Amino acid sequence: MRGKKQNESRTLMSLLVVGTVAFDAIETPFGKTDRIIGGAATYASLAASYFTKKINLVSVVGDDFPPYAIRQLHDHGINTEGLQIKTGQKSFFWSGRYHADMNSRDTLDTQLNVLADFNPEIPDSYQDCEFLMLGNLMPRIQMQVMDRLEERPKLVVMDTMNFWMETAWDDLMKAIARVDVLTINDAEARQLANEYSLVKAAQKILKMGPRYLVIKKGEHGALLFHNEQVFFAPALPLEDVFDPTGAGDTFAGGFIGYLARTKDISFDNMKRGIIYGSAMASFCVEKFGTERMLNLKQEEVDDRVQEFIDLVQFDITLVD
């Protein structure tokens, strides 16, 4: 970030989301999809849109990306001025197959396509960025976005995945060192820290730079680490999980969306953010792709959060 602009004071107020906007092909024990709309930034910005209305998207697609999918983002109040559409090029493509437990998956194919030489542009109207969600994509681009903001946002949350640990380790380390909150899944935390114990892994990762670490454990909930403190949120026990794709991004979008809405980045409020993120992720997995995230009602979100409260609330008196 270039430092404060001289003689100009901006009111920081928006949420900027960067990440992939993509086509996905998914196989689960319940079925198979061909090319459906996906991408880390798609899921994260849709989830956040249920909490805050000033969302700016930075990403890139090819001209194979359907206009209706961009309209769906607009319908959720997501500004796509920073979404580049590259003529004659193909959008990012990912395909994955879930195992029977739905908690683990294999990546079958990752085609960077238009992402390979993506040069993120930050429109002037995005410079009022108060909350920055660095969704999953090349760490080099995540850093470029931070560099191209004139003021450092109040909170920078970053998500990443094993693919970047395997292909861009040095950049990933540099990016992680600059963020406030890192969100990754349990297998990735183990890989990043080279530690099986998640507690030891968390201690190591917190030394890499972020002050907060969220470890997502799929159907086993999520852990938030900060200094010596740990908070745990369960995942809602669901009867049917159709497609976990995007659950992690949806979680991150719900988390940062809630923080942006409440403008409180204390540890206690992050705990609430984790519950909201978990609630949003629980919707995401109920249908294939983004389908469930497109038409949620406020009442459904409220009820789901209440289910979380009921799930973990108990009275207890310590025995003498």
- 169 DSSP assignment: H
Provide the minimum distance between the beta carbon of 269 and ligand AMP in the complex, in angstroms, as a whole number. 23
What span, in angstroms and rounded, lies between the C-alpha atoms of 197 and 185? 13
110 near ligand AMP (CB under 6 A): yes
Interface with ligand AMP (CB under 6 A), residue from 79, 91, 113, 136 = 136
Does position 248 interact with ligand AMP (CB under 6 A)? The reply is yes
Is residue 273 within the footprint of ligand AMP (CB under 6 A)?
no
* 186 is a contact residue toward ligand AMP (CB under 6 A): no
What is the rounded CA–CA span in Å between residue 124 and residue 79?
13
Give the whole-angstrom CA distance, residue 65 versus residue 22.
Answer: 8
Spatial CA neighbour of 218 closest among 311, 102, 302, 107: 102
Question: How is residue 180 written in tokens?
Answer: 């406030």
For position 62 contacting ligand AMP by CB under 6 A, the verdict is no
Does 137 help bind ligand AMP (rule: CB under 6 A)?
A: yes
Strands 92-98, 22-28: pairing kind: parallel
The label of the residue with tokens 């190591």 reads 204
Member of 22, 47, 129, 213 binding ligand AMP (CB under 6 A): 22
According to the binding rule CB under 6 A, does residue 161 interact with ligand AMP?
yes
Got the DSSP string for 59-99? Answer: EEEETTS-HHHHHHHHHTTEEEEEEEEETT-PPEEEEEEE-
Choosing from 17, 18, 38, 153, the residue that interacts with ligand AMP (CB under 6 A) is 38
Which residue lies nearer to ligand AMP by CB, 137 or 270?
A: 137
| Least Cβ distance, residue 49 to ligand AMP (angstroms) | 17
* Residue 94 Cβ vs ligand AMP, minimum distance, rounded to whole Å: 4
Using CA atoms, how far residue 36 sits from 19, 57, 149, 232, 242, in Å, is 17, 19, 32, 33, 15
Pick one of 56, 72, 245, 278: the residue that binds ligand AMP (CB under 6 A): 245
Binding site for ligand AMP (CB under 6 A): 20, 22, 24, 38-40, 94, 110, 136-137, 161, 163, 245-249
